């Protein structure tokens, strides 16, 4: 099995990126311990203000920035020599500020989804060592980003994450009617993106497969199909080090395959979640007559007309353990969870110690 993964100027022993999961599901503890064990640890930047000492109910954006700085510092306390990065949603209102704060606070790579990060190289120009990694679900999206980055910034992505909308958790970069039809071929897309960079630009850019990777067999299959590494989120939720409440982790262990499905986020994107309590989430916001509390998203159906529900607060409640009115995002494999492991346990299953010495 392939060993090291190098993205830009940063290299780790194992070809694994831990997925960014908001709100505060992948915070400093999870990211730090993944980095400590030889993968790339990722802090999800979305909504960090809410469960922080800096938030007074009114200063969301200032608190969001400071909470991110705190989170990165705490992650590096766990893994001082580790490779730790952030996941920044293009759809958030303070995208520019959060990207800059991530660089200032020492993030070694920035992964961007929930939109195409056309401006990302310009925001990070003073931090050339920070690796830039867009998330795409199509070859066309990779082409659009690369052409823009080359024309405006003379910059290539340092890696590309190809996310499978049929299996990945959280917000998905595909139209709802195209998800689950069986038409999408993730590894054809992985190979196509890889070929695009080689043939058009003569660049060997790492391409990372995200979505549906649960165990060693899935990992090996991804590598055999041409991926340079995998991004795993759902599997790391059911670890001791995951930053979510125990009841959040138990929701994964207790759910069945039939409990997992698509929702339409107020952000205008489909998302995959444990979907049994959507009416309670909506009713909670109706009963509270709560207007948009933070303005966290650039475009939001709840902010515009109180449609659906406030997603950042629903995710925050779930992370804290409210399974009645909290939204639990997950990948399609969440039903496979049977127990709480440690991050080290997961790495030892994926990359057995007996094989590490041989490789």
pLDDT, tens only, 94-153: 999 999 999 999 999 999 998 999 999 999 999 999 999 999 999 999 999 999 999 999
Residue 64's closest CA among 46, 38, 78?
46
- Count CB-CB contacts under 10 A for residue 216: 14
The number of angstroms, rounded, from the C-alpha of 134 to the middle of its chain's C-alpha atoms is 11
**pLDDT score for 289:** 83
DSSP 51-110: TSTT--SS-HHHHHHHHHHHHHHHHHHH-TTSEEEEEEETTBTTHHHHHHHHHHTT-SEE
Question: What is the band of 54 on the pLDDT scale with cuts at 50, 70, 90?
Answer: very high
Determine the 3-state secondary structure of 128 from DSSP: coil
pTM of the full structure: 0.95
Q: So what's the pLDDT on residue 359?
A: 44
Query: What pLDDT sits at residue 357?
Result: 55
> Higher confidence at residue 20 or residue 1?
20
Arithmetic mean of pLDDT, 332-347: 98
User: First vs last Cα of the chain: how many Å apart?
Assistant: 8
* Ranges 8-12, 83-87, 218-222, 277-281: which has the least confidence: 277-281
pLDDT mean over 154-169: 97
Q: Average of pLDDT values for 296-310?
A: 84
pLDDT for 328 beyond 70: yes
- Closest by alpha carbon to 92, among 300, 244, 272? 300
The alpha carbon of 249 is separated from its chain's Cα centroid by a whole number of angstroms, namely: 17
Residue 43 half-sphere exposure toward CB, CA atoms < 13 A: 32
| Measured distance CA(342)–CA(29) in Å, rounded | 12
Structural domains in the chain, sorted by start? 5-243+337-358 (3.20.20.70), 249-329 (no CATH)
| pLDDT at 194 (0 to 100) | 98
d(CA 74, CA 262): 34
- Among 33-37, 208-212, 279-283, 301-305, which stretch is predicted with the lowest mean pLDDT? 301-305
Segment 217-263, tens digit of pLDDT: 999 999 999 999 999 999 999 999 999 999 999 999 999 999 999 99
Q: Interhelix angle for 186-201 vs 139-153, to 10°? A: 30
Tokens matching residue 197: 């960079």
Helix, strand, or coil (residue 173)? coil
* pLDDT score of 1 more than 70: no
């Amino acid at each position: 099995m392939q060993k090291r993964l190098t993205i830009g100027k940063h290299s780790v022993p194992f070809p694994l990126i831990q997925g960014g999961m908001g709100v505060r599901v992948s915070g400093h503890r999870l990211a730090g311990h993944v980095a400590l064990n030889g993968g790339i640890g990722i802090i999800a930047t979305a909504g960090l203000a809410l469960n922080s000492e800096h938030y007074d109910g009114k200063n969301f954006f200032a608190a969001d920035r400071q909470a991110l700085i705190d989170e990165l510092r705490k992650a590096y306390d766990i893994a001082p020599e580790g490779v730790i990065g952030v996941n920044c949603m293009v759809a958030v209102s303070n995208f520019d500020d959060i990207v800059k704060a991530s660089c200032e606070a020492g993030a070694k790579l920035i992964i961007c989804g929930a939109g195409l990060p056309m401006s990302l190289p310009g925001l990070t120009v003073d931090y050339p060592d920070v690796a830039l990694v867009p998330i795409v679900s199509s070859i066309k999206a990779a082409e659009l980003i690369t052409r823009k980055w080359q024309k405006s910034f003379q910059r290539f992505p340092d890696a590309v994450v190809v996310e499978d909308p049929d299996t990945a958790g959280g917000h998905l970069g595909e139209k709802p009617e195209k998800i689950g039809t069986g038409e999408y071929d993730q590894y054809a897309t992985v190979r196509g993106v890889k070929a695009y960079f080689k043939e058009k630009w003569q660049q060997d850019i790492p391409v990372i497969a995200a979505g549906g990777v649960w165990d060693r067999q899935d990992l090996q299959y991804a590598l055999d199909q041409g991926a340079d590494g995998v991004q795993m989120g759902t599997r790391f939720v059911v670890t001791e080090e995951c930053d979510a409440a125990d009841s959040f982790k138990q929701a994964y262990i207790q759910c069945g395959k039939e409990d997992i499905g698509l929702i339409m986020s107020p952000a205008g994107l489909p998302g995959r979640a444990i979907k049994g309590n959507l009416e309670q989430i909506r009713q909670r916001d109706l009963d509270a007559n709560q207007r948009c509390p933070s303005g966290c998203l650039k475009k939001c159906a709840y902010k515009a007309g109180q449609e659906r529900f406030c997603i950042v607060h629903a995710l925050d409640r779930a992370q804290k353990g409210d399974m009645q009115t909290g939204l639990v995002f997950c990948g399609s494999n969440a039903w496979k969870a049977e127990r709480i492991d440690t991050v080290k346990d997961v790495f030892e299953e994926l990359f057995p110690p007996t094989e590490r010495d041989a490789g």
